[in-house]
Structure 1
Amino acid sequence: MRLLVLGGTEFAGRAVVEAALARGWDVTVLNRGRQAAAPGVRSLTGDRTAPGGLAALDAPGEGDWDAVVDTWSAAPRAVHEAARLLRGRARRYVYVSSCSVYAWAPPAGYTEDAPVVEGAAPDAGQSDYARDKRGGELAALDGFGERDSVLVRAGLLLGPYENVGRLPWWLTRIARGGPVLAPGPHDLPLQYVDVRDLAGWILGAVEQELSGPYNLMSPQGHTTMGGLLEACVRATGSDAELRWTAPRTVLDAGIEPWTELPVWVPPGTDLHDALHAADVSRAVAAGLVCRPVGETVADTWSWLASIGGVAPQRPDRPRRTLDPEVEAKVLAAGGGAGTGGVSGTTS
């Protein structure tokens, strides 16, 4: 297989590149050249936000590809231009979108048929994330049509190379040890996908010549908040004590779900249903297999240690931090009941 990855040096794009190389595929990447590409790829330089940014794809000697993988998440003009340029030169266009494209608030169990937001126009500037991602989907469809486009509506992505600050934040916090504010309930179901499982599914979709939209994350309840944080304790070898704290206590302290406490959102809310309760049966039927949470956590910790313990951070995503003084104040006020506390508690 000949694969073109637009980007290919960070997180999801990097995972796709490494998975394709492991299968013996011929991989070309196009990016701004600010970071080194994986060994073994053909690297082209181009800035998709600049005039002529795709010119390297038209250089003498550049041929056709079996598939293109595009992870773009800003204004959809870049997807529109790439898809129009590459139609007729690639057999399939895989656009890594997001479950954020669904109109708010999608009910628990929502499928790919749920209503979506209005996409940003190709000639519009950057809009909000959901409209930009939907605009990217429409741009892919405009260039390649429904039969030759795959819309990967990813959920929460975790794993090595993460540059958003979710799992690395938890690993770093737990590695410091001591009492840790663990937002409950302990058995709160989570839904996410290891970026390497996402990559493997994408390559399988190319091989199977799939098309259309797919919710791409683990089945509901693949793990729990307790399973995730306990895996962090094991991976880091920390003496951290998880102090399980009721959701109402966390919220009353003014702590923001998802941002100040990454991954976590209170049960019984629209936000939890949207992020952790999608129907993924279509992706599973098409070959999605999700590795255990312990493997994701341990491998992410190993990667983080290999780069000095400081994860890269995308400039367009807010840095997630919980003020240590706020955490200490909640714990000192009696928040948290130790490792076994508030299992199943929602208030």
Structure 2
Amino acid sequence: MDILVIGGSVFVGRTVVEAALARGHAVTTFNRGRTGTDVPGAATVRGDREDKADLARLASLGRWDAVVDVCGFTPRVVGDAVRALNGRAETYAFVSSISAYGDWPAKRVDEQSPRLACAPDADEGDGDYGILKAGCERAVESGFDGRALVVQPGLILGPYENVGRLPWWLRRIAAGGRVLAPGDPDRSMQVIDVRDLAAFILDQIEARAEGRYLVSGSPANTTMGAWLGDCVAATGSHAELVWVDDDFLLERDVAPWTELPLWTPPTDELAGVWLPDPAKAAAAGLKTRPVRETVADTWAWLTSEGAPETLPKYRSHTGSQGITPQKEQALLKEWTTR
């Protein structure tokens, strides 16, 4: 198959490109060449998706069996790409987010859950990340005349991660010493490896599927304790995990999700964060690997030659990841002596 990837140089996009090439597909990437490096073996077209002339030039270069759009954040911009490539591909696969559902993260969601309200031509500034992702989905569904495939990932981890959640924990634990471990170590989580996500996208393209799929790891595929334990094992660190109560951290204004990445205290607002229902994707063939493999392979990537100390960023809606060393040590001291 001939596959066009819009983006294709970092995290999800890069993984999709590598997986497609490994399957013997011909891959073209379209990007500005500013964020990451091109994958060897893929043809590259330089251009800016926000420039209609660049999109028209791209469309004039050929036809593809599928477009995989991994870097669409604004409905108007996604709609421009859809219109430019309409008739130039059989499938338009858009990588969205579980954040497009209005009930998440407070409640369990599946493909039947209501999406956030957003017009397919909304512009940047017309909403937050999840609202705009919902509008992007509608831009693809309403504007593409071929097969529209919308993939809504849950929490993605793995090699090339450019958000910095798992890399932050790995580097912090590798540094050793007493590490602030937040909340209940038995709290269930549900994460997916980026390579399993990429494989599912390609499987659906090859099967000529369409529609929406919420794609996450299998329910309760790890816990906070097991996940951080995997980090200790992968790094070979002698770090000591010091488990600190949720309420203690909340009372001291520690930010869930970001200051201690993926920490989700049991509040009403986060009650469904680890409860997405991937049954439809599983029925369509989604396969997921053990989380310990994801952790170990991410550490191998981080410690390989050329892995960045400062990770490249995409247009992240979560902000920077990780608590400062000074704040962490102050909290640990207070927790120990209280």
Cα contact 2:95–2:152 (8 A) shared by 1? yes
Relative to structure 1, the CA distance from residue 124 to residue 334 in structure 2 (aligned partners, 3 Å threshold; closer, same or farther) is closer
State whether structure 2 residue 10 is matched by structure 1 residue 10: yes
SS in 2 for 1:36: coil
SS in 2 for 1:215: strand
State whether structure 2 residue 70 is matched by structure 1 residue 71: yes
Q: Which residue of 2 aligns with 1:287?
A: 285
Relative to structure 1, the CA distance from residue 92 to residue 288 in structure 2 (aligned partners, 3 Å threshold; closer, same or farther) is same
CA distance in 2, matches of 1:203, 1:54: 23
Offset at residue 65 of structure 1 (A): 1.0
SS in 2 for 1:161: coil
Offset at residue 72 of structure 1 (A): 2.4
Counterpart of 1:15 in structure 2: which amino acid? Answer: T
Cα contact 1:265–1:271 (8 A) shared by 2? yes
Relative to structure 1, the CA distance from residue 132 to residue 332 in structure 2 (aligned partners, 3 Å threshold; closer, same or farther) is same
CA distance in 2, matches of 1:121, 1:308: 37
Cα contact 1:3–1:25 (8 A) shared by 2? yes
Relative to structure 1, the CA distance from residue 37 to residue 272 in structure 2 (aligned partners, 3 Å threshold; closer, same or farther) is farther
Offset at residue 27 of structure 1 (A): 0.4
Q: Which residue of 2 aligns with 1:114?
A: 113
Offset at residue 308 of structure 1 (A): 4.8
CA distance in 2, matches of 1:249, 1:120: 41
CA distance in 1, matches of 2:249, 2:15: 34
**Unmatched runs of 5 consecutive residues or more in structure 1:** 337-347
Cα contact 2:101–2:116 (8 A) shared by 1? yes
Aligned length in residues: 332
Counterpart of 1:85 in structure 2: which amino acid? Answer: A
Cα contact 2:59–2:85 (8 A) shared by 1? no
State whether structure 2 residue 238 is matched by structure 1 residue 242: no
Q: Which residue of 1 aligns with 2:168?
A: 169
Correspondence list, 1:41-52, <5 A: 41-52=42-53
Offset at residue 334 of structure 1 (A): 2.9
CA distance in 2, matches of 1:133, 1:240: 39
Query: What is the CA RMSD across the aligned residues, in angstroms?
Result: 1.8
SS in 2 for 1:54: helix
Counterpart of 2:285 in structure 1: which amino acid? Answer: G
Relative to structure 1, the CA distance from residue 193 to residue 42 in structure 2 (aligned partners, 3 Å threshold; closer, same or farther) is same
Counterpart of 1:266 in structure 2: which amino acid? Answer: P
CA distance in 1, matches of 2:239, 2:213: 38
**Unmatched runs of 5 consecutive residues or more in structure 2:** none
TM-score computed with the length of structure 1 as normaliser: 0.91
% of aligned pairs identical?
A: 46
CA distance in 2, matches of 1:197, 1:259: 24
Offset at residue 56 of structure 1 (A): 3.2
Relative to structure 1, the CA distance from residue 283 to residue 110 in structure 2 (aligned partners, 3 Å threshold; closer, same or farther) is same
Q: Which residue of 2 aligns with 1:276?
A: 274
Q: Which residue of 2 aligns with 1:99?
A: 98
Cα contact 1:313–1:319 (8 A) shared by 2? no
SS in 1 for 2:181: strand
Offset at residue 108 of structure 1 (A): 3.9
Q: Which residue of 2 aligns with 1:341?
A: none
Relative to structure 1, the CA distance from residue 215 to residue 105 in structure 2 (aligned partners, 3 Å threshold; closer, same or farther) is closer
Cα contact 1:5–1:28 (8 A) shared by 2? yes
CA distance in 1, matches of 2:58, 2:328: 50
Correspondence list, 1:1-347, <5 A: 1-34=1-34, 35-59=36-60, 62-105=61-104, 108-122=107-121, 124-126=123-125, 127-144=127-144, 148-273=147-272, 275-306=273-304, 307-308=306-307, 310-314=309-313, 316-317=315-316, 318-334=319-335
CA distance in 1, matches of 2:148, 2:4: 14
**CA displacement, residues 243-267 of structure 1 (integer Å, 9 cap, x when unaligned):** 1122112212211110101111113
Relative to structure 1, the CA distance from residue 207 to residue 316 in structure 2 (aligned partners, 3 Å threshold; closer, same or farther) is closer
Relative to structure 1, the CA distance from residue 315 to residue 193 in structure 2 (aligned partners, 3 Å threshold; closer, same or farther) is closer
Cα contact 2:79–2:120 (8 A) shared by 1? no
TM-score computed with the length of structure 2 as normaliser: 0.93
Counterpart of 2:129 in structure 1: which amino acid? Answer: Y
Relative to structure 1, the CA distance from residue 14 to residue 249 in structure 2 (aligned partners, 3 Å threshold; closer, same or farther) is same
Offset at residue 182 of structure 1 (A): 0.5
Offset at residue 269 of structure 1 (A): 3.3
